[in-house]
Structure 1
């Protein structure tokens, strides 16, 4: 398959790219600062350019999303808008613009996360964004068939415990390789409207 991989230069994007290319797929990498195509998918006009440059693809895979972390009473309206824009609207735009551009039985795989179902202090924006992405996936799945859409919802990565582990006390981490395999399952499988949880 020809796969468009968004957020390809991050930890997760790198792992997913290696897993997909290791299975023989042609992967076109997209990132703000690196990759085959350098664009910011937070800008709808740049999403259009990505699709125009990539041409026809069989699958679109998202591994990137930006959200602020602060206590609720320190969050501003702009912080919540930023979270919605940085993790929800950008992924929705990939799907909205991608439906007419990907293969008839192609797929989208988006990124969400454990905080949508198991929040931690300072995660209200991330929890909101993850919940919104998951709701969108379930709704879009019933409209875009035979194209498919799923989301991957991991907990904290084992490889990121040194930096983020203290924020997730008692929550089992997951290896990036395991998360990458969930992406493989979504891309190569037949299910749609699924939230693949890893915890």
Structure 2
């Protein structure tokens, strides 16, 4: 017997953070799959600021029904753990974690049945480097959320997170990740295509 193959479907995909190094790769890869990609960021049109819940809500109202949402945005402070303040941790969670979770909340109301949401964490949830405690906390929270929230997602919606190592296309960060193997655009692209076009849910897809 031969495995059942899903019929290829053109989907409308919203990529938030599409002007960044990860978002650009994800958006281009999904367009190559034949999908209609709506690229959003703080500097694009449509625009969105993940630190502003009203901005997230307005974006979803503007773009209309969707089949998939990908989030690749979110910055965090890098400081020695002895120098991190409560405000630093709050900033990390406000954008990297709460911003992405807010997207999930709105996406559940706007996605078509059997759609998907893909978030982005990073290697720092599982591998330590200096000055990355706030980033590690933010990434770990996202991954733990996905594991549980996926079991309650409505209408067959899938929920995953892509967790890449340091990127080849960001050489200015390589020295900060000693001994790490930078991952290529092709590897990152495959992870997002898997999350959007595949059948995984509740997974952290490690790159």
Instruction: Give the alignment's TM-score, normalised by structure 1.
Output: 0.96
**Equivalence for 1:132:** 141
Pick from 2, 5, 14 the counterpart of residue 4 of structure 1: 14
Pick from 107, 119, 130 the counterpart of residue 110 of structure 1: 119
How far is 1:177 from its partner? 2.1
Structure of larger gyration radius: 2
Any idea what SS the aligned residue of 2:82 has? helix
Conservation of the 8 A alpha-carbon contact between 2:121 and 2:142: yes
Pick from 137, 150, 154 the counterpart of residue 141 of structure 1: 150
Any idea what SS the aligned residue of 2:34 has? coil
**Equivalence for 1:38:** 47
Partners of 1:182 and 1:154 lie apart in 2 by 9
How far is 1:29 from its partner? 0.7
**Equivalence for 1:68:** 77
**Equivalence for 1:157:** 167
Partners of 2:97 and 2:87 lie apart in 1 by 15
How far is 1:41 from its partner? 2.1
Post-superposition Cα deviations, 1:150-170, rounded to whole Å, max 9, x if no partner, equal 000000001212x01111111
Any idea what SS the aligned residue of 2:169 has? helix
Partners of 1:188 and 1:156 lie apart in 2 by 24
CA RMSD across the alignment: 0.9
Any idea what SS the aligned residue of 2:78 has? coil
Partners of 1:130 and 1:107 lie apart in 2 by 20
Structure 1 unaligned blocks of 5 or more: none
How far is 1:28 from its partner? 0.6
How far is 1:173 from its partner? 1.0
Bigger CA drift: 148-157 or 169-178? Answer: 169-178
What is the count of residue pairs matched by the alignment? 196
How far is 1:191 from its partner? 1.0
Any idea what SS the aligned residue of 1:27 has? strand
Q: Which 4+ runs in 1 deviate beyond 6 A?
A: none
**Equivalence for 2:93:** 84
Instruction: Give the alignment's TM-score, normalised by structure 2.
Output: 0.93
